[in-house]
């Protein structure tokens, strides 16, 4: 009995030591990470540039992925604007080769008229806070179909809706490619399918 109990005790001590070593290694790896990871939650509560505002490039902060403002003007009319984060089409990747995580994401903006403008945005973590590095307005009534990153190039496909019968073709599937260059999103190519 005494030998069996000692064997079980030795096994328990060995397992406890192994678990402790694994926990210490996990803590060390976490401490070595230079840049905390971006999350969908942090992106949904970040500050972005709004292009549809009357103020040139106003900065607004989303709350749970949404922003809405209605202002009454001096003449009694109202000026409304909204911004929404597309939480389905977000991709995380190293866009510069510097071992940092960047997020490529899409925002939809409505400035009170008939247009709903979609922009591609690149965000990086800056000391625990998402920081918008660059953006590119894709256009009016763009429905994002897919996004992925390969060789540090962001590839986007989207359906561009045309609501006028006079515009041909009425709807177009467009493929764009972008590269982040000195905090600017540069369009590498675009094709209509």
pTM: 0.76
Cα atoms in the 13 Å half-sphere on the side-chain side of 53: 17
CA triple 180-181-184, angle to 5 deg = 75
Q: For 60-96, write each residue's pLDDT tens digit.
A: 999 999 999 887 778 887 778 899 999 999 999 999 9
Is the distance from CB of 105 to CB of 43 less than 8 angstroms? yes
Burial grade of 10 (CB within 10 A; 0-12, 13-18, 19 or more): exposed
The pLDDT confidence band at residue 30, using thresholds 50, 70 and 90, is very low
Res 13: pLDDT: 73
- Closest by CA to 123, choosing from 41, 46, 67, 50, is 46
Sequence-separated (6 or more) residues with CB below 8 Å from residue 114: 163
Under DSSP, the state recorded for 55 is: S
Based on its alpha-carbon atoms, the radius of gyration of the chain, rounded to whole angstroms, reads 24
> Which tens digit of pLDDT belongs to each residue from 90-106?
999 999 999 888 999 99
Token pair belonging to 78: 């109202």
Examine residue 171 and say whether the peptide bond preceding it is cis (omega within 30 degrees of 0).
no
Q: Which two tokens stand for residue 144?
A: 């994002």
pLDDT tens digits for 126-173? Answer: 888 999 999 999 998 899 999 999 999 999 999 988 765 565 566 889
């Amino acid at each position: 009995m005494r030998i069996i109990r000692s064997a079980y005790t030795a096994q328990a001590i060995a397992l406890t030591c192994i678990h402790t070593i694994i926990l210490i290694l996990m803590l060390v790896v976490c401490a070595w990470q230079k840049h905390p990871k971006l999350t969908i939650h942090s992106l949904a509560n970040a500050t972005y540039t709004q292009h549809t505002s009357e103020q040139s490039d106003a900065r607004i902060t989303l709350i749970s992925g949404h922003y809405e403002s209605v202002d009454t003007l001096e003449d009694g009319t109202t000026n409304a604007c909204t911004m929404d984060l597309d939480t389905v089409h977000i991709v995380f990747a190293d866009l510069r080769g510097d071992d940092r995580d960047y997020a490529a994401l899409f925002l939809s903006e409505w400035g009170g008229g008939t247009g709903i403008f979609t922009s591609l945005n690149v965000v990086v973590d800056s000391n625990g806070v998402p920081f918008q590095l660059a953006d590119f307005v894709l256009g009016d009534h763009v429905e994002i179909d897919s996004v992925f990153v390969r060789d540090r190039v962001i590839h986007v496909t989207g359906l561009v809706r045309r609501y006028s019968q006079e515009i041909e073709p009425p709807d177009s599937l467009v493929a764009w490619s972008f590269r982040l260059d000195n905090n600017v999103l540069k369009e590498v190519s675009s094709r209509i399918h």
